[in-house]
Chain A
Amino acid sequence: MSTEVLRRRPRRSARTKAQPVVALVLVAVLVGLPMWLVVVTAGKPQGEALTPNLDLPSQWQLLDNVREVWTRGRIPSGFFGSVLVMVPSVLGVLLLGSMGAWILARRSKRRYAVLYAAAISGIVLPPAVVTVVLLLRQLGLAGTAIGMIGVYMGIYMSTVIFFVTGFIRTIPLELEEAARVDGARPLTVFVRVILPLLRPVLATATILICLYVWNDVFYAFFVLGGRLDTLPLNLFQVASAGLYLNNWHLIFTYVVLMSLPLLIVFVVAQRKIISGITSGAVK
């Protein structure tokens, strides 16, 4: 057996030595190159950015580009619209989804199994984007933030219910019973006992849903119809309107600005986010 070990040693160490090199090269080529393209192009004057390449700009004018995009791309109103839609959508879907998930996890009648199947069907079924516009018009909500918030909540409710129901089932019933014996009502039990325990799974769900909502352009295009600005919608409109045609420096400046908020959050809370998603996926 000792010869076995001896024989294996060199191969293992060769593998461990090669791994960092391979990893670094992959990061540089697969992520580094495209990101480099974005950053250098965002720093170029229009003439140099006509055909985007990997050369450094002859002189950096990132700030000038930011200033131009800021007004032409309506960054402030886009940012405001994105936040206005994202924050209530995420908070609402997490709260209502958790409340529902608690019942779906604890009630055991067949009826609730059926309701659970219906409640998680939205994970896979595509939303009816065209007729939702019709419905919102009938409700007087087309093009409004409230309509958009409702649509996002309807789309991502299933995701929350799926993750949270699975998580609640791992929480022992005794924890609730203890509070109930002390005379706590269901609402108190939910707020005091269940919600605090849900923190890890809600953190994961928050990350994923923020990601989807912040970057969404498809649903926003149908629901908002240009009546409320969001960052991706503005990028989409200006890029497809031809206004930015051959203005790659402005498109990429926009991309940088739009990606910054999520990137900053990610850099600050990187460990938590990655471990949150990793453990969320196992659960």
Chain B
Amino acid sequence: MATEHETVAGAAPGQPAPDGLPPGGSGGKVSRTTSAERRERAAHPGWFLAPALVVMVVFFFVPTVFNFVYAFTDWSSFKSEINPVGFDNFVELADSGTLFASLRITVVYAVLVAIFQNVFGLILAVLLERDTRLNRFARAAFFIPVLMSALAVGYIFQAFLKPEGALNALIGALVGHEVTTAWLGSTTWTIVVVALIHAWKWMGLSMLIYMAGLKTMPGDVLEAARIDGASPWKAFWAIRFPLLAPAVTFSVATALLGSMNGFDVVQATTEGGPARTTEILNIFIYRTFGQGLFAQATTMSLVLFLMVALFAFPVIKILRRREEIL
């Protein structure tokens, strides 16, 4: 249907359809499509879309455009006038090493979160697939962290992972001697621990997405595989997993892009430390904004935008393709 109307040709966008053409007149095809178009327009007037677009333009697109302007100024809380400074902010951030460090940390964090969240989510979905009472209870339990504030989750794990905290006490009881690992104190591994916490919070959502994907499986195909003697393990990887592809794309994309824009979990567990090794872009933005260095914060905000946009274009394409299939 879409393509038929897209080829409507002739009439320039925004021009009203030429009136007075008798339906089914000499230019048969053209007049038929334009009258269909006219009907379409009368039935679905464009002004219905206007309020949503106005809100998006004012509160989303204009600030984004501002990003491209104020990243090239010396806007700060220390003086009232704002002057253009060209690429100074970028040069400064690149020279101090902050720019690439934050970028690298953000990408590493996002990739780790996407992997953990989806592996856990998929395992849970397969484990809790059958519709039993216990499984329904377990699904609800794993959804609780999704409902909780990410900030609260961060504080919980900050307490849980303290050197003298509950996890070390448990491990100590198991191995029989005292354990005082500083789970959030390593400049190498803390980013992994924080990513695990982020994934813990959201794995319930991935679980639901994968469960929805598993539900669409054609039962007869699996039955056929079973009769042919395929082991459950093999049947899963050969039949079910490939059919899960749309769910995987969706869940991985949302996890990846969501954690690139993350803040709460990192702020509540490490505040970017130790030694700024977990300082993802939004932590930097928050910190420099608090110091009144608005232009630097804007510059990093623009960097985040550009990075996500780079990832996003392929993702939007995939999302739209997925919709066309359905």
Interface residues, chain A, with chain B CB atoms under 8 Å away: 1, 4, 15, 19-20, 22-24, 26-27, 30-35, 37-38, 41, 51-54, 92-93, 96-97, 99-100, 102-104, 106-111, 113, 115, 117-132, 134-135, 150-151, 153-155, 157-158, 161-162, 166, 169-170, 176, 180, 186, 189-190, 211, 214-215, 217-218, 221-222, 232, 235-236, 239, 248, 251-252, 255, 258-259, 262-263, 266, 270-271, 273-274, 277-279, 281-283
Contacts and interface: CB of A to CB of B under 8 A. Distances in A.
A26 B141 CA distance: 10
Given A128-B64, A154-B59, A215-B149, A26 B127 contact: yes
Contacts of B146: 211
B43 A125 contact: no
Interface in B278-326: 282, 285-286, 289, 294, 297-298, 301-302, 304-305, 308-309, 311-312, 315-316, 319-320, 323, 326
Contacts of A215: 148-151, 264
A31 to B, nearest CB: 5
A154 B58 contact: yes
Nearest to A214: B149
B45 A186 contact: yes
B182 to A, nearest CB: 14
Contacts, number: 294
B32 to A, nearest CB: 15
Contacts of B315: 124
Nearest to B313: A124
Interface of B: 1-2, 4-6, 8, 13-14, 37, 40-46, 48-49, 51-53, 55-56, 58-60, 62-64, 66-67, 70, 75, 124, 127-128, 130, 132, 134-152, 155-157, 159-160, 162, 164-166, 169-170, 200, 205, 208-209, 211-213, 215-216, 227, 229, 232, 247, 250, 253, 257, 260-261, 263-264, 267-268, 282, 285-286, 289, 294, 297-298, 301-302, 304-305, 308-309, 311-312, 315-316, 319-320, 323, 326
